[in-house]
Amino acid sequence: SSGDRALNRMNLTQFELPTSNLTTGRANATLISLVRNEELGGIIRSMRQLEMSWNNKYNYPWIFFNDVPFTEEFKKRTQAETKAQCHYALIPKEHWEIPEWIDDDQLKQGIAEQKKKGIKYASSISYHQMCRWNSGFFYKHPILDNYKYYWRVEPDIKYFCDIDYDLFQFMADHNKVYGFTINIFDDPFSVKSLWPTSMAFLKSHPDYLSTDNSMTWLTDDTLRPDKTLSANGYSTCHFWSNFEIADLDFWRGEKYQKYFDHLDQSGGFFYERWGDAPVHSVALGLFADNSQIHWFRDIGYEHPPYSNCPDLPNCQNCKPNVFASGRVLKEDCRVTWFKQVCESRTQHGGMSPE
Ligand code: GDP
Ligand code: MN
């Protein structure tokens, strides 16, 4: 595809690789995972991947979240996968339940429309709740109060490369707020009103917009595959949030807090099927500095059907530079991201000092 050719032309060395520093493991950070009891096998597979490639050297704790209590078996078998401490957190009802301002009829009608448009998970109410929780509630759980950074993990993901530096320490040393591996286009219909709702918010808080924002990436849809549907001004580019390493203080801050409340009041998590990935991404693109968002090009990662496979000697079991196969290959949004990074570095002082 044209996106691939553009990608190959990109000089990846612009995205510096950190040097190894095996000695830390003491950042104020934790691995987190929202998971169901039934996904025990999948989360164990993920833990093995991440423990083997990284965490067995650093021993950051794991925190598992669930809207129902974890079983004893879940606790015993996950703790058996790591030398680090595992914690199990129950999500408070008021963080998970459908808020009272959601109208039943509008919900039914919204879901019927999403189904008609073939939106994945449209009729799963718990999926909507999960996206809302990941958008505006995970960081409010008291168990995270004393942490600054987290790394999100889902069941059945893969890590392909041995990682010999402390990614959390890297975030702290370079003043990063967000790190991602994969960045893709979304189904425009699932986020139909996300952009107009966000722009209405920005209009009432114009000073919240970062001078080093990522507006090009958020709005340039020239490479978006399905142009027959409109996302009302949003490119639909988003960091794929099943992997994220981020600074909790960004979500805890006034800007994101107010932004989330504004989105939540509009009902879009239920009447549409806003994912936490586009919500996080729009917020980061508007309020964070582009220089504080980091592409971990050296982390080999897969959550089917997409992957990030670096062409590096410490990576195994993935094909270098292969992102996906078949139709979904077109959904890669990296080229738009590169364009944004180049623009941002030109306007805001060249290469970021990584
Ligand atoms: P996908 O990656 O978008 O296909 O969605 P997943 O089914 O992987 O869900 C995203 C994450 O949320 C995974 O870590 C799931 O284990 C978790 N998850 C989704 N729904 C629920 C739920 O109702 N309860 C709990 N506890 N976890 C959930
Ligand atoms: Mn998943």
CA angle 228, 209, 257 (to 5 degrees): 90
Please list, in sequence order, all residues whose beta carbon lies within 8 angstroms of the beta carbon of residue 159, skipping any fewer than 6 positions away. 49, 50, 52, 53, 54, 299, 300, 301
36 CA closest ligand 1 atom index: 26
- pTM of the full structure: 0.95
Taking ligand 2, which is a single-atom ion, which protein residues have CB atoms under 5 Å away? 154, 242
Q: From 79, 59, 65, select the one nearest 140 (Cα to Cα).
A: 65
The domains of the chain are located at: 2-347
Burial class (CB in 10 A: 0-12, 13-18, 19+), 122: buried
Find the 53 Cα to ligand 2 centroid distance in Å: 20
Q: From 289, 277, 317, 346, select the one nearest 135 (Cα to Cα).
A: 277
From the CB of 276, is ligand 1 less than 6 Å away? no
CB of 260 closer than 8 Å to CB of 274 = no
From the CB of 242, is ligand 1 less than 6 Å away? yes
Residue 294 Cα to chain centre, angstroms: 12
CB atoms within 10 A of CB 13: 7
pLDDT at 1: 47
From the CB of 35, is ligand 1 less than 6 Å away? yes
Here the ipTM equals 0.99
From the CB of 126, is ligand 1 less than 6 Å away? yes
Nearest bound ligand to the CA of residue 119: 1
Find the 33 Cα to ligand 1 centroid distance in Å: 9
pLDDT at 327: 87
pLDDT at 6: 55
pLDDT in tens, 31-81: 999 999 999 999 999 999 999 999 999 999 999 999 999 999 999 999 999
Mutate to test the pocket of ligand 1, among 32, 33, 34 (most ligand atoms within 8 A of CB): 34
pLDDT at 353: 42
CB atoms within 10 A of CB 53: 22
Query: Per residue of the chain (354 residues), what is the pLDDT tens digit?
Result: 444 555 655 667 667 677 766 667 789 999 999 999 999 999 999 999 999 999 999 999 999 999 999 999 999 999 999 999 999 999 999 999 999 999 999 999 999 999 999 999 999 999 999 999 999 999 999 999 999 999 999 999 999 999 999 999 999 999 999 999 999 999 999 999 999 999 999 999 999 999 999 999 999 999 999 888 889 999 999 999 999 999 999 999 999 999 999 999 999 999 999 999 999 999 999 999 999 999 999 999 999 999 999 999 999 999 999 999 888 999 999 999 999 999 999 999 765 444
> Alpha-carbon distance 314 to 329, whole Å?
25
Superfamily of structural domain 2-347: Spore Coat Polysaccharide Biosynthesis Protein SpsA; Chain A (3.90.550.10)
